Chain A
Amino acid sequence: MQPETKLAAVPTGVPMGQTWHTTREGAMDRVCEILGREGGPRLAALAGRSGSGKTTAAAAMVGERGPIRPRVGETEDQARARMDRVRVLFPDGVVWLRVGKGEGAADRLLNLMRKLATKLHENVLKKRVQAPAVDEDGESYAKNVLSQRALRCLVVADDVWEASVVEKLRETGMWVLLTTRDVSIVEPDETVMLDELTEAEAEGVLRGAARLPAHEH
């Protein structure tokens, strides 16, 4: 009997899915490939225009999995493993951080990183270690507690607009999955473009929203 795979808990604040949401399997594969690279913490960015489904895709990767629907020739366990393949990379925990425009400004960035440190403390470390002190930098706190315990944690930073936020996230020592409309704030080999649905995916969304029967390929 194989030991049960350790899976990160669903982070608080992650957006809920809709029945018509489509799983961007290609994007998920690419994110796994980037975050699974060897040599320490990595960053992957889901990039695309407003409404292209970046947040939905990120939420699907770390949120509650929906009904398990095995593909042809796939067992239920295999389907489950496919759906959990991002969460399984981070057995020690995942944090969902809503960022938003303007949070990278010098006067807001420290607060954002404090928010991350607090979430890390409450959601991942479960208060096993001391909370960040008021006059402690969020990124330093994360870096110290994670390196001391050799933890492998992911932060999903939703709606990032500024390179300064990206830089701060890199300094935490956490693996980072972010969503952004601006590809210039990350490296090309870290980017997973989500601008358009494929025609089949778009048709699936339209059918789902219009409650039409699923397309049969």
Chain B
Amino acid sequence: MNDDAIEILKVCGYVAMDVAFVGSWSSVRTGNDGVPKSRQAWTDVKKQIETQINAVRGEAGRAGDTGDLEINRLAVLRAGFKYLGAEHPLAQELYMALAVFPDGYAFEGSDAAVLLNDDGAVADHLVQTAMTTVAVLERWAVLRTSTSGLYHMHDAHMKFAKESLVDRGDIRKQAVRRWSSHISRLEVAIDIDMHELLGLWRALSRVGGSDWEMSPPYDDQLVQMDSSNPLKFYAVAIVAELYLHAKSSSLFKLMERVVNGCRGRTAPETGVKMTALWYRSVGLGNMGLLAEQAEVRHQLAELIGDTPQLWVPDEGNYTQRSTIFNIYGFSAVTAGRLEEGEKWFRRAKAAQEDGGLETNGQTALALHGLGHCLREAGRPAEAHSLFFRALTILKAKLGIGDLMIAWTMQELGKCAMALGKPDQAAASFKMMLQIVEARLGVDNVNFAEGLVQLGGCLFQRGRWSEAERQFRWALQILESSLGRDDVQVAGVAWIIGACLGRSWRHKEAEGFFRRTLDIREAKLGPNDMSVAEALEGLGMCLQGYSLPERRFEEAAVYLKRALEIREAKLGPDDVQVAEALIKLTGSLRGAGRHGEAAACGERALKIRETKLGEADGSVVRTLDWLGRCTREGGQFREAEALFRRALTIKESRLGPNSFQVRATLGELARCLREAGRSGEAVGLLQRAVEIQESMGEPDTSPVSDRLRELGCCLREAGRLEDARRALKRALKIRKSKQGRSQSQGVAQLLDELRLCDRKPTRGSGFVRTFNFFPVFVRLFVTP
């Protein structure tokens, strides 16, 4: 080879693709006559490349920020581009037209034919011509073909093609029009994976094509498609999915047209109708039109209920079959038939696996549906893993901002909550909210739902005020979207009341509980279970410590009504009835009706022992609770027996030094002291103090309280010196603390110390110490 040819190799950096590209130029390539071109041809090529190198270097923004090799490559591509046209009349056009594809897209010869011909022509001779053109580009090292018969454009050429296409309006418009017209045909669209179809439209819009949503091409074709066509359901699903990943506002109207077009009741038509109803329901849900959505869901449930044998298409590929299985799954779930839904989703998943399509969009939907069924069936761990897998597929296919990602994040959050991981759940709900905010706006009811779920996580972590903020924001959205008297508004009002109650703002909480009660009674009737929940919230709130006067009698009226509703709905022996009984016990106890309280407590205990077993945690809590009621009613022997039983169970379940053992020791000691057996209480209180100290809390207010109780018992047992020692230590701890309650505690301890200098009388000690015992009635927490 001559020197200029060798020089060209240097300019190409000895890079194979660039060298092959230059060698393909018609000015140097040996013609069909077999006669090599002259030496001058290589000299001319070298000059042309050098001219382009200088031009590239001279362009603003390129010099200095681009390496020599990149400049040289661009120069080679620019200089050689004209020879593509000389080699084959269509090669240059196809080269640029390929820029309508997404990067890395694998295409077939028939796709190239579409780009080169109007009307999406794929006649054999046109495909043949296109293949000849493709072969030219392949020989020029622009394309690679694989054994699977698909072609890829090399990324360096794709970049150059996109830049060139932008500059050539005549070719660009033609290519965009042809490709867009091709994929606008419904019969073509249903042969493409739905996520890939979305990618094709997005790539088109990046090179000047219009977004498909501007003039939706599929709507009329879909409506006009014969409803008895066994693939129409799939066409409906593909178009609906496209709308779902773009905007939902037109989806439900289109689906309505499809449903109205199904006049017969043939098996495929039922499949079409079910598919359209399902997607219509999803579209309405995304828009926050919940009443309309409920109506469509009702229609769907009726349709699946009226169809004894669901149709399964004989023809169709794996994806098409799994699509109809997914639709049946979602329909069954909508009708509340979770087990049936699970079976359909498993069939959809199996069909995808059989087809080797585990990363396909329908697989993600099957996993999503199956996860929902399992979560609802109380299997959150399994559901979590399925949702996570669905999320992986969806993120890879759709990017992170798609609504389907948001719904999957929401499901993951629900699973995490069910698994007792509120922080993990909160992270999922936050991500869901970000997407929903960006796609649907902050006024959408789905955004409000996410806020409620996030608030629930914060509530569970004890962050009441942060939770309250989320709930109040959700309330505002729901009130303006659904009206002030909607049952969902009532639900959020209830949880705000619960937040306020936990924050000791019982007066404010009362208003929210009353509002909840009013809405639910009006909308759902006086005997609905949710009315019982509202009554309980209100009843517990009326006993709140922050109220100027705690209204136990009034609370008992509400709680008794709640109990009656639960008994009527669930039967007298349900565990929920036991909980309602315990709540009522608290108000009766506060009202001084100890006998009634003890009777309610005993009944609750019996139910829990029978239903949950004698060693269940709730049984132990009931024993403590009942012990307190019985003691306050003056039945010390009975109370002692209950506390000792609770103590035995706790010691065996939790070990001798648990915090809960300490609490029961304190209760038992108090019972013995009130029964005049202070000497026996001493040992129990000493053990309680030791447990508290062993937990690394030697100088806290609770230790001080326990020491004061111990001091009183010692004094009453005549052990004055020991009593003084305990009381002085309690006083020292109190003095080290600050605050009003601390100074009151100091004053009372000083009183106790003074009593040590007098002759002990059991009555005086009892009266003085009574108010100091820790209060165990806690709002909303049942024992």
What is A's interface to B at a CB cutoff of 8 Å? Answer: 10-16, 18, 20, 22, 49-53, 55-56, 63-64, 96, 100, 107-108, 110-111, 114-115, 118, 121-122, 131-135, 196-199, 201-203, 205-213, 215
Extra contacts, 13 of them, besides A53-B16, A213-B36 (Cβ < 8 A), are A10-B147, A12-B148, A13-B148, A20-B20, A22-B16, A52-B15, A107-B395, A131-B356, A134-B349, A134-B367, A203-B6, A207-B1, A209-B29
Say whether A211 contacts B104, CB under 8 Å: no
Say whether A135 contacts B15, CB under 8 Å: no
Q: Assuming the A-B contacts A50-B155, A206-B8, are A134 and B353 also in contact, with contact meaning beta carbons closer than 8 angstroms in the complex?
A: yes
Say whether A115 contacts B359, CB under 8 Å: yes
Report the minimal beta-carbon distance from A107 to chain B, rounded to whole angstroms.
Answer: 3
Say whether A135 contacts B23, CB under 8 Å: no
Interchain CA distance A100-B103 in the complex, whole Å: 10
Say whether A208 contacts B69, CB under 8 Å: no
Binds A, one of B138-146, B182-190, B502-510: B138-146
Q: Which residues of A contact B28 (CB under 8 A)?
A: 210
Q: Give which listed residue, A122, A205, A213, contacts B20 with CB less than 8 A.
A: A205
Report the minimal beta-carbon distance from A2 to chain B, rounded to whole angstroms.
Answer: 29
Q: Give which listed residue, B146, B366, B393, contacts A13 with CB less than 8 A.
A: B146
- Tell me if B767 counts as interface (CB < 8 A to partner A): no
What is B's interface to A at a CB cutoff of 8 Å? Answer: 1, 5-6, 8-9, 12-24, 28-30, 36-37, 69, 73, 104, 138-141, 144-148, 154-156, 349, 352-354, 356, 358-359, 363, 366-367, 385-386, 389, 391-393, 395-396, 400
Q: Assuming the A-B contacts A49-B69, A111-B392, A131-B356, are A208 and B15 also in contact, with contact meaning beta carbons closer than 8 angstroms in the complex?
A: no
Interchain CA distance A124-B364 in the complex, whole Å: 26
Q: Which residues of A contact B356 (CB under 8 A)?
A: 118, 121-122, 131
Say whether B22 contacts A209, CB under 8 Å: yes
Q: What's the dominant secondary structure at chain B's contact region?
A: helix
Q: Which residues of A contact B400 (CB under 8 A)?
A: 107
Say whether A51 contacts B17, CB under 8 Å: yes
Interchain CA distance A14-B69 in the complex, whole Å: 28
Q: Which residues of B contact A198 (CB under 8 A)?
A: 14
Say whether A132 contacts B16, CB under 8 Å: no
Say whether A131 contacts B353, CB under 8 Å: yes
Q: Which residues of A contact B5 (CB under 8 A)?
A: 203, 206
Interchain CA distance A14-B144 in the complex, whole Å: 10
Q: Which residues of B contact A10 (CB under 8 A)?
A: 147
Q: Which residues of B contact A22 (CB under 8 A)?
A: 16
8 A-B pairs with C-beta separation under 8 A: A18-B139, A52-B15, A135-B386, A202-B12, A202-B14, A205-B20, A206-B8, A209-B140
Say whether B146 contacts A56, CB under 8 Å: no
Closest to B9 in A: A202
Q: Assuming the A-B contacts A51-B154, A206-B5, are A211 and B148 also in contact, with contact meaning beta carbons closer than 8 angstroms in the complex?
A: no
Closest to A117 in B: B358
Say whether A107 contacts B396, CB under 8 Å: yes
Q: Give which listed residue, A16, A100, A118, contacts B145 with CB less than 8 A.
A: A16
Q: Give which listed residue, B36, B389, B395, contacts A135 with CB less than 8 A.
A: B389
Say whether B144 contacts A199, CB under 8 Å: no
Say whether A111 contacts B396, CB under 8 Å: yes
Q: Give which listed residue, B14, B363, B366, B389, contacts A197 with CB less than 8 A.
A: B14
Say whether B30 contacts A211, CB under 8 Å: yes
Q: Which residues of A contact B352 (CB under 8 A)?
A: 134
Closest to B386 in A: A135
Report the minimal beta-carbon distance from A106 to chain B, rounded to whole angstroms.
Answer: 8
Say whether B358 contacts A132, CB under 8 Å: yes
Say whether A206 contacts B19, CB under 8 Å: yes
Interchain CA distance A177-B28 in the complex, whole Å: 36
Q: Which residues of B contact A135 (CB under 8 A)?
A: 367, 385-386, 389
Closest to B26 in A: A210
Say whether A208 contacts B23, CB under 8 Å: yes
Q: Give which listed residue, A63, A107, A197, contacts B392 with CB less than 8 A.
A: A107
Report the minimal beta-carbon distance from A37 to chain B, rounded to whole angstroms.
Answer: 28
Say whether A20 contacts B23, CB under 8 Å: yes
Interchain CA distance A202-B17 in the complex, whole Å: 10
Closest to A118 in B: B356
Say whether B1 contacts A111, CB under 8 Å: no
Q: Give which listed residue, B15, B20, B145, contacts A49 with CB less than 8 A.
A: B15
